[in-house]
Structure 1
Amino acid sequence: MDLRDSRGSLVRAGLVGLVVGAGVCYCVYRATSRKRTNEMGGEAILEGESIQKEHKERVGSTSWGKAQLTTPQQAPIVDVNICSRTGQRHSNHLQQAGMNFPVSADGLTTNHIQNLIYLLESVEDPLIQEQVLITLSNSAAFSVNQDIIRNLGGLSVVGSMLSVPAANVKEKALNALNNLSMNIQNQAELKRYINEICEETNSSPLNSELQLSGLRFLTNMSITNDYQYMMTSSIPCFLRLLSDGDERTQTQVLKVLVNLSANPAMTEHLLNAQAPFLLSLFDSCINKEVLLRVLMFATNLTQHMKKEESAVVSCHSEDSIFSMLWGNSTKCSQKLASLVLHHDTEVKEQAAKLITQGTSCQIK
């Protein structure tokens, strides 16, 4: 068999994985959705709590437990119709090859995953790349597959798709990396993409799906404090998105900011950041998901301020987060007092918690 035949066999084998994988992705999606809904109230996704649990076991009881931790959203379900059209072009070859792999009820087999990774390496068609990435993303909703993809060298293959010009391919690569990052061992390898994804998130069209996908990955990578230092230079970008983005973007970027604010080591970086708009978000007219997270963000910073007052630098600029929270004490106090009367119980409680911190909105 010459090189051309060998390469053709490889692509055909990969397409088997793609087509069969598309057929089981609905099962994967349904199983993941049920677990998400039943165990995590509809927002967090499969295996999210495992990272938090492992972090707690490794570092013990710290102030981390007082912060709001977030987990990523569901990767999109595969478009079976598109996969079918792609596979139809090769159906004769597949039938002649007679290649079949057993498929379990909860995902793809190792052979399928391996073929998908090989296919991703060998093709340049954005449509095929996109559908392979969707299938891998759904497969990676299961922890066992997260390990398999890593052991097969799939993390770097998926990561290489970030350099593909097509925005749809980048988006699906980010969704796959997002689910793959729900694994502590995977995170150790995926940290190499943090700077690149921060830059991509900053330069992506505002409120685009590509930008949201990048923020979801960064949310995962900021759940523990292991790699948060790599996001320090992107804090101004996050705050720009909080100021200019729509409610979906604001909610997602706040998940990152809340995670960062849970780490005392990030406190001074956040307090120094420019956010003249911050107090405008302390308003009952703001979307609840945004408002609640803004209050959590301020509460985390206040807690760290109380514990490490001696370490706080007093020369913050007028538009810094420090000045917004502690330099406008009257305005901030009035806004918090109004939020204690908010119709939503969670907002009320969070506003009251921020008020009772003692040093809230006051410069020592």
Structure 2
Amino acid sequence: MLVPIPAAVTDKSPPESPHTMDADALQKLIHLLQATDDPLIQEQALITLSNSAAFSVNQDIIRNLDGLSVIGGMLSDCVPKVTEKALNALNNLSMNIKNQEEIQVYIEQVCKNVESAPLNSDLQLAGLRLLTNMSVTSDYHHKMIKQIPCLLRVLSEGSERTQIQVLKVLVNLSANPAVTRHFLRAQMPSLLLLFDNCMNKDILLRALVFAANLKKNVNNEGGSMIQDQYSEDSVFSILCRDSTAFAQKLASLWHHPDPEVKEQVVRILTQ
């Protein structure tokens, strides 16, 4: 199950109406980004480009003006606010398949941004939103595999808002059988805490979809994954290896009032 590409991220108070900008105006903004070292000017230019990229016609124009490489080059900027605004711009631009083909070269850097950013920060969330868009199809999943331990750590330690965004990425990745083994080997001792009746419904539902995707992929492999070696705190041991604790969690969730939650519980139990 893949989550749909989310709505465009729009910064407040853009310098000018972005949907009315023509190619000349967008080119001037891109040239300005290349010409200035002033982080305040960079921020404002990126905000305007980000807002204009919420409109599909501008997404193609910015790509044709080589704006993707200019914005992508700012992901390693030492000023966090500049990096955040660059991620927001690429997030909006990534709602275009041709743009994704160019943005994918920056996935490794985006993963580094997510890992190094302060927990629950706007910078970390901006990176997670871009990874969500870039993981809607399986084309670039292989570029995110090494980030799985980091994503699980952020899921374990993050706020509710951060957990929801991480789970959007994890649901996308877990739908791909080629990624399953990497998830099963990863460790997350606190994973069971997500499967609780008191948990935020958006978190609970996505955690159940994540678990259901993994169990489906394990079953479809005909037992070959079960023969691998897994540690006690691995995702496999918690979700797939006759886990009494997980079974008890599912039994409790059987009485959850939300029908979508019940649907995913049934999906897990019947696989």
* TM-score band w.r.t. shorter chain: over 0.9
Q: Does 1:344 align with 2:251?
A: no
Q: Deviation per CA, 1:46-78, whole angstroms, max 9, x where unpaired?
A: xxxxxxxxxxxxxxxxxxxxx132423432334
In structure 1, C-alpha distance between the alignment counterparts of 2:242 and 2:166, rounded to whole Å:
24
1:57 match: none
Question: Is the 8 Å Cα contact of residues 70 and 219 (structure 1) preserved in structure 2?
Answer: no
1:354 CA displacement = 1.4
**Partner deviation per Cα, 1:19-49 (whole Å, 9 max, x = no partner):** xxxxxxxxxxxxxxxxxxxxxxxxxxxxxxx
Cα deviations across residues 186-242 of structure 1 (Å, max 9, x unaligned)?
111111111111011101000000000000011111111111101111100000000
2-structure distance, mates of 1:328, 1:247: 29
| Residue of structure 1 aligned with 2:182, choices 269, 273, 296 | 269
Structure 2 residue 8 is the aligned partner of structure 1 residue 74: yes
Once superposed, what is the RMSD of the aligned Cα atoms?
A: 1.6
Deviation at 1:156, TM superposition (A): 0.7
1:274 CA drift (Å): 0.6
Match of 1:107 in 2: 20
- Structure 2 matches for 1:140-219, cutoff 5 A? 140-219=53-132
Query: Displacement of 1:328 after TM fit?
Result: 4.8
Q: Please name the residue that 1:225 is paired with.
A: 138
2:32 alignment partner in structure 1: 119
Distance (Å, rounded) in 1 between the aligned partners of 2:26 and 2:19: 13
Cα 1:238–1:73 change in 2 (3 A) is farther
Secondary structure in 2 matching 1:161: coil
Distance in 1 of aligned mates of 2:179 and 2:125: 23
Contact 1:296/1:350 (<8 A) preserved:
yes
Match of 2:236 among 296, 318, 322: 322
Letter in 2 for 1:108: M
Q: Is the contact made by 2:71 and 2:90 (CA closer than 8 Å) also made in structure 1? A: yes
Runs of 4+ in 1 over 6 A off after TM superposition: none
Aligned equivalents of 1:266, 1:118: Cα separation in 2? 40
In 2, the alpha carbon distance for the partners of 1:347 and 1:187 equals 32
Q: Distance in 2 between matches of 1:278 and 1:272?
A: 13
Q: C-alpha distance in 1, partners of 2:92/2:224?
A: 37
Deviation at 1:306, TM superposition (A): 1.6
Pick closer, same or farther for the CA change 1:310–1:348 going to 2, 3 Å. Answer: closer
Alignment partners' CA distance in 1, 2:177 and 2:57:
33
Of the structure 1 ranges 281-290 and 237-246, higher mean CA displacement relative to structure 2 is found in 281-290
Could you tell me which amino acid in structure 2 is paired with residue 69 of structure 1?
Answer: V
Instruction: Return the alpha-carbon distance in structure 2 between the equivalents of residues 239 and 192 of structure 1.
Output: 23
Q: Is the 8 A contact 2:76 2:109 kept in 1?
A: no
**Structure 1, gaps ≥5 residues long:** 1-66, 85-102, 358-364
1:343 Cα offset (Å): 1.8
- Offset at residue 147 of structure 1 (A): 1.0
Query: Could you state the TM-score of these two structures normalised by the residue count of structure 1?
Result: 0.71
Distance in 2, matches of 1:320 and 1:70, equals 29
Kept in 2, the 8 Å contact 1:146–1:183? The answer is yes
- Offset, 1:172: 0.5
**What is the 5 A alignment of 1:239-318?**
239-312=152-225, 313-318=227-232
Instruction: Tell whether the 8 Å contact from 2:2 to 2:136 is kept in structure 1 after alignment.
Output: no
Structure 1 residue 350: deviation in Å?
A: 1.4
- Count residues in correspondence: 270
Alpha-carbon contact 1:302-1:354 (below 8 Å) kept: yes
Cross-structure match for 2:44:
131
